[in-house]
């Protein structure tokens, strides 16, 4: 049987029970389940605010647009970012009319504070930190830099549902944290996300921005008896980015099992490290010892990545790559050559299969093949 990179685990009966409630109630959109999901997420993370959205990607775009207009940044404002991420991270910067400036990564594949400091100019207004694979890297040093320089900090926590630092869920110090509940994430729906601002006024405004600028959503305008208040104001030009109750139901079910699922993912990673840790041909990505990672990814580095992947595929093992250096894409070519560590990592990294359906025997099989074909 083939061993896939990701296979999400859905508790089907529980999801269907919640979806049936939405259908019977006749309310599948923004409403009672999205509110419930927001409250559950705040309780789980300890973050003060949470707004359920249709994806992480739209959350990042909303974050940049809100901060830009709130702070009066011009189109020449710069955002320090990583080249080693899914393109939605950097697309969000461009979509907000801002300029991405690429800093290099360290051995954790997260932003290197030394490289970040070299990129700061008078135009630097924000920094986006990507917790790749669920790792936090040198986040605490990045936070210190942002505080000292009055730089807005956005945390792209797409991989970080359940990640903790010294026992505390990430990361209340950031101006905004954006999570992903996309189909193969640790907390999986079909697609959705959560945006968590530190300030109440930002949370209030982003709710309007995600609903076309309307100052009261449909659910808030519907009385308990079912009477619908049609009068509302449109305060600014916004977007249709909010989440819906069907996705929220799936999220609520997944949240119940998130910590136990992440614990098993960490066990899978431990087995991989035990099997391959002494192999000089294979390097594991460093995990901050203060970090209890969500372990969305288990990443290694090898010198013959393409050859190894082909060999694994021939044995019906299908790993992945997270990610290609974004400066290789035409819209980010201005950064090509500026981040040599990321460029090298982009040619060497492999994400090994990690999901709830894997057994110890599966991990052993993958490990044996990696050991045999890595050079």
What string of DSSP letters covers 66-96?
HHHHHHT--TT-EEEE-SSS-HHHHHHHHHT
Token pair for 161: 């549902």
CA dihedral over 302, 303, 306, 309, signed as positive or negative? negative
The mean pLDDT value for 280-298 works out to 96
Q: What are phi and psi of 333, to 5 degrees?
A: -65, -20
Is 247 in contact with 18 (CB distance < 8 Å)? no
**Residue 125's closest CA among 144, 103, 107, 99?**
99
DSSP state of 346: H
Is 163 in contact with 131 (CB distance < 8 Å)? yes
Distance CA 318, CA 262 (A): 21
Is 68 in contact with 74 (CB distance < 8 Å)? no
Distance CA 170, CA 136 (A): 9
The mean pLDDT value for 143-170 works out to 96
Is 148 in contact with 154 (CB distance < 8 Å)? no
Token pair for 40: 């559950």
Average pLDDT, the chain: 96
Domain ranges of the chain: 3-254, 258-373
Residue 237 burial (CB count, 10 A): 8
CATH class of the structural domain 258-373 = alpha beta
**Model confidence band, residue 149 (pLDDT cutoffs 50, 70, 90):** very high
CATH number for the domain whose boundaries are 3-254: 3.40.640.10
- Asked if the model's pLDDT at residue 86 lies above 60, the reply is yes
**Model confidence band, residue 231 (pLDDT cutoffs 50, 70, 90):** confident
Q: What share of the chain has pLDDT > 90, as a percent?
A: 93
Token pair for 202: 């930002």
Whether a cis peptide bond, with omega within 30° of 0, leads into 323 is yes
pLDDT in tens, 65-82: 999 999 999 999 999 999
pLDDT in tens, 290-340: 999 999 999 999 999 999 999 999 999 999 999 999 999 999 999 999 999
Report pTM.
0.96
DSSP string, 132-199: GGG--TTHHHHHHHHHHHT-EEEEEETT-TT-EETTEES-TTSSEEEEE--TTSSS--SS-EEEEESS
- Asked if the model's pLDDT at residue 190 lies above 80, the reply is yes
pLDDT in tens, 56-66: 999 999 999 99
Is 208 in contact with 215 (CB distance < 8 Å)? yes
CA dihedral over 345, 351, 352, 356, signed as positive or negative? positive
């Amino acid at each position: 049987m083939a061993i896939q990179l990701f296979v999400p685990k859905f508790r089907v009966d529980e999801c269907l029970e919640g979806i049936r409630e939405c259908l019977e109630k006749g309310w599948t959109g923004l409403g009672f389940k999205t509110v419930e999901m927001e409250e559950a997420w705040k309780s789980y993370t300890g973050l003060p605010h949470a707004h359920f959205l249709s994806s992480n990607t739209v959350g990042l775009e909303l974050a940049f647009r809100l901060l830009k207009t709130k702070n009066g940044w011009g189109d020449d404002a710069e955002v320090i970012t990583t080249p080693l991420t899914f393109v939605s991270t950097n697309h969000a910067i461009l979509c907000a009319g801002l300029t991405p400036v690429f800093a290099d990564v360290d051995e954790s594949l997260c932003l290197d504070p030394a490289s970040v400091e070299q990129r700061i100019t008078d135009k630097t207004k924000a920094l986006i930190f990507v917790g790749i694979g669920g790792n936090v890297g040198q986040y605490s040093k990045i936070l210190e830099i942002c505080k000292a320089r009055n730089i807005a900090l956005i945390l792209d926590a797409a991989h970080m549902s359940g990640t903790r630092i010294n026992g505390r869920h990430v990361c209340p110090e950031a101006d905004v944290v954006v999570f992903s509940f996309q189909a193969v994430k640790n907390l999986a729906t079909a697609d959705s996300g959560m945006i968590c601002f530190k300030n109440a006024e930002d949370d209030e405004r982003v709710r309007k921005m995600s609903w076309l600028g309307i100052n009261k959503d449909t659910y808030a305008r519907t009385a308990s008896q079912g009477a619908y208040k049609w009068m509302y104001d449109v305060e600014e030009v916004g977007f249709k980015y909010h989440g819906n109750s069907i996705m929220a139901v799936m999220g609520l079910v997944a949240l119940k099992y998130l910590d136990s699922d992440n614990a098993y993912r960490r066990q899978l990673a431990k087995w991989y490290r035990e099997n391959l840790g002494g192999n000089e041909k294979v390097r594991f990505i460093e995990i901050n010892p203060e970090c209890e990672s969500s372990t969305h990814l288990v990443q290694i580095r090898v010198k013959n990545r393409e050859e190894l992947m082909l060999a694994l595929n021939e044995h019906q093992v299908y790993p992945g790559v997270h990610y290609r250096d974004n400066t290789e894409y035409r819209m980010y070519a201005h950064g090509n050559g500026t981040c040599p560590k990321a460029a090298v990592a982009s040619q060497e990294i492999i994400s090994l299969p990690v999901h709830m359906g894997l057994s110890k025997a599966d991990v052993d099989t993958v490990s044996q093949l990696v050991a045999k074909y890595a050079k």
